[in-house]
Structure 1
Amino acid sequence: MNFRHLKYFVATAESGQVSRAATLLSISQSSVTGAIRDLEAELGATLFQRSAQGMELTEAGREFLASAHEILEKLDEASKLTRRHSTVTGVISLAATYTVLGYFLPYHLDRLAHLYPGLEIRLSELNRESIEEGLLSNRFDMAVVLTSNLNNPELDSETLLRSSRRLWVPNNHRFLRKGKGKASFKEISEEEYIMLTIDEAAHTTMKYWSGTSYQPKVRLRTSSLEAVRSMIANGQGITILSDMVYRPWSLEGKRIGTVTTEREIPSMDVGLAWRPGIEFSRPVAVLADYFRQCYTLPQTPFSLPRS
């Protein structure tokens, strides 16, 4: 058993699918399945029940997940004791949108705090329009945003992560049982649709629906992702959202499945934005380099970019 086995197992358990775990880890699906197979052989236990809906933890798998989390946390704590912290100091005014702040930044903010304890990141949550205006007026040094939503040609940006969008359905939905594994927009249009509105999600949704001959049958518009999850898990509708915000369980503990669509859907892209023509201060350059290293070099969840 090694670190790779644990890392791949946890990613698969939390994402519910080998394909999604492979995407999150930036590795091949065969690497994930091979690691899980080796781990099960070493433990002498079946950790997952495989099905068309994905990977469901067995009782042994649920018990081992708790142990795997504990081991990885201990490894992380041990590695922090020997890290050489950077002496870079300074203040960064950083803006972020709701989705980025909730589902992308927290993990990185923790890593940055350990790696660069002398950096003070002053964070502001705003909508895209306010962030664009704040960058151009020099109120913010940089922003972490959905670059796929950026609409101002006066800004420079760099995409770090492209998150695929899939159809979310309740665990017993007919789309999961149909066999072919992909849903058409005609089929989706016949279902009740739960429309997320936060971070221009509704506007983005209608843009890719406009390329079809169909319209979603919207039952509810909401800014709450947890409401979306609960409605879907309880069979009250379906939706299309990105893998970055996907979780396989609702708050009630009911499972949510995903299905790919026959028609390709644009990804939700996350990245950096800044006012062009400015010379980055040392702290801002360090922040930008940190993110570039995270998403241009293979990283484990517990390794940090070089100081």
Structure 2
Amino acid sequence: MSISLRQIRYFVATAESGQVSQAAVNLSISQSAITTAVKELETIVGAVLFERTPHGMELTTAGRQLLSHAYDILQKVDDVASLHLVTSGVKGKLTLAATYTVIGYFLPLHMERLKRQFPDIDIQLFELNRESVEEGLLSNRYDLAVMLTSNILNPELQTEKLLSSQRRLWLPARHALLAMPSVGLKEVADQDYIMLTVDEASHTSLKYWSQTPYTPKVSLRTSSVEAVRSLVANGQGVAILSDMVHRPWSLEGRRIETVTLRDNIPSMDVGIAWRKQVDFSPAMEAVRTYFRRTFNIPH
């Protein structure tokens, strides 16, 4: 039996999320498909890749070695898949604005790919808050923006959603709410709550809280996702944040679990934005085409 790309992708997703359930959600497939692929891969390589614990999937020594090779394999596949985009005919300068969450948790990989695929496009990247991005697009200071399109308010801007990242409840390992069959904002309201403020996260949070009879018991407001991660992992409170910024371990190496809430929590939408009626330069068109093809957005 030969190794398939499907097995490699499912293995990487499980290693990165630390949970079969989370990997299945991230890939929009069933948990059984993940489990089967990992077992097949373990049979092929002749080694156990994960230690299965009550709190998730932890890589073994063999698993860590394979993960390094798996990243190389997927990188080569991406290179081959993007060959049709590489053209020396696209040249010029492009000013690209991005908000904090996007530049920290979404954009770096795509910037690296864009620079490889379009070496003659000089992409100048700027990190700004939403208001500054909107103003900059309208004044032609920036050509395009990659941002949380769910936050955009100005009707003079055109947007194109690339992905939706579900928001879930973050909990420390062995938290009492993990044992409950169903968790909603009613139960969350009884817990100390860590409120993220960057990229208008607190404003978005209060919008969906305000549609319920409950109020979060905020113990701390912070602009740092890493602070939220560490505080939750160390049992100082809970938080509701998107899958895009979730990592299963804090900087101290402590576990962070996620729970899907029964309430209707809006997703965090990431996309590109530009001024309506703007004439797209070849560089702008190349970058927009890259994102459309990467995320299977129809033209």
Fold conserved between structures, TM > 0.5: yes
- Paired residue type of 1:56: M
Match of 2:66, as an amino acid?
S
The SS at the match of 1:160 is: strand
Answer yes or no: is 1:56 the counterpart of 2:43: no
Deviation of 1:33 after TM superposition, in Å, equals 2.5
What do residues 260-294 of structure 1 show as CA deviations (whole Å, max 9, x unaligned)? Answer: 11112000000011100111001100100100111
For each residue in 1:70-114, what CA deviation from the matched residue of structure 2 results, as whole angstroms up to 9, or x when unmatched? 343266369859957321111101100000000010000011111
> Corresponding residue for 2:196?
196
Asked if 2 retains the 8 angstrom alpha-carbon contact of 1:80 and 1:114, the reply is: no
Change in Cα spacing, 1:204 to 1:25, as seen in structure 2 (3 Å) is same
Q: Which residue in 2 is equivalent to 1:73?
A: 72
Task: Specify which of 166, 169, 172 is matched with residue 167 of structure 1.
Answer: 169
CA distance, structure 1, for counterparts of residue 104 and residue 28 of structure 2 = 22
Is 1:10–1:65's contact at 8 Å kept on the other side of the alignment? Answer: no
| Residues 194-233 of structure 1 mapped to structure 2, 5 A cutoff | 194-233=194-233
Residue by residue over 1:211-266, the C-alpha shift from the partner in whole angstroms, topping out at 9 and shown as x without a partner, is: 11000000100011111011000000000000000000000000100011111200
How many Å separate the matches in 1 of 2:267 and 2:74? Answer: 33
Long gaps (5+) in structure 2: none
SS state at 1:117 partner: coil
Over 3 Å counting, the alpha-carbon distance change for 1:41 and 1:193 in structure 2 is: same
Judging changes above 3 Å, is the alpha-carbon distance between structure 1 residues 105 and 132 closer, same or farther for their aligned structure 2 residues? same
CA distance in 1, matches of 2:227, 2:45: 38
5 Å matches for 1:253-264?
253-264=253-264
Provide, for residues 166-223 of structure 1, a one-character-per-residue CA deviation record: whole Å limited to 9, x for no partner.
Answer: 0000011011123x1x312111000000000000000000001001100000010001
- What stretches of structure 1 move > 6 A for 4+ residues in a row? none
| Number of residue equivalences | 292
CA 1:252–1:277 in 2, change beyond 3 Å: closer, same or farther?
A: same
TM-superposition CA deviations, 1:106-163 (whole Å, max 9, x none): 0000111111111111111000011111111111111001001011111111111000
Moved more, 168-177 or 63-72: 63-72
* CA distance in structure 2 between the partners assigned to 1:189 and 1:75 by the alignment: 42
1:167/1:258 contact within 8 Å kept: yes
Q: Distance in 2 between matches of 1:25 and 1:78?
A: 18
For residues 269 and 76 of structure 1, the distance between their equivalents in structure 2, rounded to whole angstroms, comes to: 25
Equivalent position amino acid for 2:15 in 1: A
Question: Structure 1 residue 31: deviation in Å?
Answer: 3.3
Distance 1:126 1:136 in 2: 14
Question: Does the aligned pair in 2 maintain the 1:99–1:199 contact within 8 Å?
Answer: yes
Look up the SS of the partner of 2:269 in the other structure: strand
1:1-307 equivalent positions in 2, closer than 5 A: 1-50=3-52, 53=55, 55-58=56-59, 60=60, 62-73=61-72, 76=75, 83=83, 85-87=86-88, 88-178=90-180, 180=181, 182-296=182-296
Q: Give me the identity figure in percent.
A: 53
Contact 1:247 1:256 (C-alpha < 8 Å) held by counterparts: yes
Does structure 1 conserve the Cα–Cα contact (< 8 Å) formed by 2:195 and 2:220?
A: yes
Quote how far apart the aligned CAs of 1:51 are: 6.2
Superposition RMSD on alpha carbons, in Å?
A: 2.2
